[in-house]
Structure 1
């Protein structure tokens, strides 16, 4: 007996409400349907269906088998769909959401090569500094920094982001180098915000040692790359993500300070819908971006001078 075929026939019998209805929908002969049902009952040693003159009635065992069989067949169908999707050529429009600066400086430069590799694809990159609703806004792939709530989305980690406090050598020579977060109150700080006022910088790798320092900045800018330029010119002390300042720290344009007080890293993830539903275009983009960033190493994972373990 082909057990899968027999299970599929049993489910069809229950759905149709009769052996003849199942035979018509398969299509198959009434004799073949009856034979498969009888073989299934003999195999399990129990009766699944009671036949009356008017209808079929499921036994308790039959109801249990029906629910389990439907789940098994649905799972097999999903596997079949996923395997066949792997053989498909990615086509259509891919909608990507990313934080503004990460999207502009890290994602956008990767897109020309991606489009050359997949000429049947087009890309819509949306740069927004908010959490998007991927289903409601029809987003196929989203980059997200920080905590991920439980959801039906699949997350692939791209890297870790450390917030780094740093300043130009010229500023530190002029004003001195702070050795503790509390000393920042006596320095010129550069803050990221759309609304000037008080800002808090978080320090401490462990929850017990966490502290929040109120920063009264002399310069407020709602653009991280503009803050980077101001810091390079010696305007003050700035706190920026590691991937943005990595090269500046390496070439000496900026100096990392308060390293022992830095907060835990935040993870950057690539999000997309369940792997069962993900389309070929989604998967090839995820694979491409992960491989490209593994080679380019924008988060400094191969070195320890910028990102520490």
Structure 2
């Protein structure tokens, strides 16, 4: 079963043989034995490529889940070890993962010498079982699911600008005043966008325009620091710049409700030493530098126990 999964993931028998490692002949014998056992073809094999049959696709999905359960049993049996071991595959949104999660990894790896981490920066919802991901970081409200959700903090969308820009152009006191300012727009293409705000319990949006658009927030934040205009960015992106006085937070009383940030994992991973070790480390790090923490911001308390969705 493991050989079959490795072949599908590697894309060829020879690549799987090198990765396992195992001779190409042995890999082929394992696959043939598996197909004889079930009395059906699971893979269509040519000299250059492989393709799953309909039965093979079904078997592949279930085989990955079964192998994950076997790994979990191994983790349970070794839970008494003082040091977590093995690979931890983590998925996170690109901006949050690169700015917040990635800088935490060197110290974690230095603490747990027997662990390795694979960080995937992906701006889509991942399937933990099918994509072999042990831990996923997600921002925003969660749909009902069978996953365990552990809240690690909140994130605010903050409007800010360089003191020099505000001195030249004046500070907008209400969201509608943004229409008269150069706004630095996070977008894949030029044009007007809506920035959302909240006041007295009522949500409203303002259509802003500007002369600089970019699909990378670090570019826009850098331009704001240089006085090019007003930027709207997640709190983790601008917290240090606000604290150091390079940016000034504005329209604070109109900020929308912070979005929660959760770490998600399968119920079967709950007792995994590696998942538990990283979660504890992540929570400790977030308490020291909360996601919502910027000048004048308050951070929601981080719970000590698991919460459930679904």
Alignment partners' CA distance in 2, 1:110 and 1:122 = 13
Show the counterpart of 2:296: 305
CA distance in 1, matches of 2:100, 2:295: 21
What's the secondary structure of 1:149's corresponding residue? coil
Partner of 2:152: 158
List, as ranges, runs of 4+ consecutive aligned residues in structure 1 with deviation greater than 6 Å.
Answer: 80-83
Q: Is the 8 A contact 1:99 1:144 kept in 2?
A: yes
* Aligned residue number for residue 228 of structure 1: 221
Question: Is 1:98 the equivalent of 2:92?
Answer: yes
Is the Cα–Cα contact under 8 Å of residues 272 and 278 in structure 1 kept in the other structure? no
Structure 1 residue corresponding to 2:135, chosen from 135, 141, 147: 141
Q: 1:267 to 1:119 in 2, by over 3 A?
A: same
The answer as to 2:169 corresponding to 1:169 is no
CA separation of 1:122 and 1:81: change in aligned 2, threshold 3 A: closer
Partner of 2:50: none
Contact 1:242 1:307 in 2 (8 A): no
Distance 1:245 1:235 in 2: 16
TM-score, normalised to structure 2, is 0.68
CA contact (8 A) 1:201 1:212 kept: yes
Map residues 195-234 of structure 1 onto 2, 5 A cutoff.
195-204=189-198, 208-234=201-227
Using the TM superposition, name which of 288-297 and 136-145 deviates more. Answer: 288-297
* Alpha-carbon distance in 2 for matches of 1:241, 1:273: 28
Q: Show the counterpart of 1:193.
A: 187
* Partner SS state of residue 207, structure 2: strand
Task: Give the SS at the match of 1:204.
Answer: strand
Give the distance between the partners of 1:307 and 1:217, measured in 2 at CA.
30
Given the superposition, is the C-alpha separation of residues 129 and 203 from structure 1 closer, same or farther in structure 2, using an over 3 Å criterion? same
Aligned residue number for residue 289 of structure 2: 296
**Cα deviation 1:86-113 (Å, max 9, x = unaligned):** 3144222110011112212221121112
Which runs of no fewer than 5 residues in structure 2 stay unpaired?
A: 1-72, 301-310
Q: Distance in 1 between matches of 2:133 and 2:123?
A: 15
- Seen in structure 2, the aligned counterparts of structure 1 residues 205 and 134 have a Cα distance that, compared at 3 Å, is farther
Structure 2 counterpart of 1:10 = none
The structure with the largest alpha-carbon Rg is 1
Matched position secondary structure for 2:90:
strand
SS at match of 1:133: coil
| RMSD of aligned alpha carbons | 2.2
Q: How many residues align?
A: 227
CA contact (8 A) 1:161 1:243 kept: yes
Q: Give TM-score scaled by structure 1 length.
A: 0.68
Q: Which structure's relative contact order is higher, taking Cα pairs within 8 Å and 6+ residues apart?
A: 2
Do the aligned partners of 1:202 and 1:213 also contact (CA within 8 Å) in 2?
A: yes
Does the C-alpha gap of structure 1 residues 83 and 93 become closer, same or farther in structure 2, counting only changes over 3 Å? closer
Q: Any stretches of 5+ residues in structure 1 without a counterpart?
A: 1-79
CA distance in 1: counterparts of 2:270 and 2:281, whole angstroms: 19
Q: Quote the offset at 1:145 in angstroms.
A: 0.6
Using the TM superposition, give the Cα deviation of residue 275 of structure 1 relative to its aligned residue in structure 2, in angstroms: 5.4
Shift of 1:122: 1.1
Deviation at 1:84, TM superposition (A): 5.0
Q: Which residue in 2 is equivalent to 1:248?
A: 241
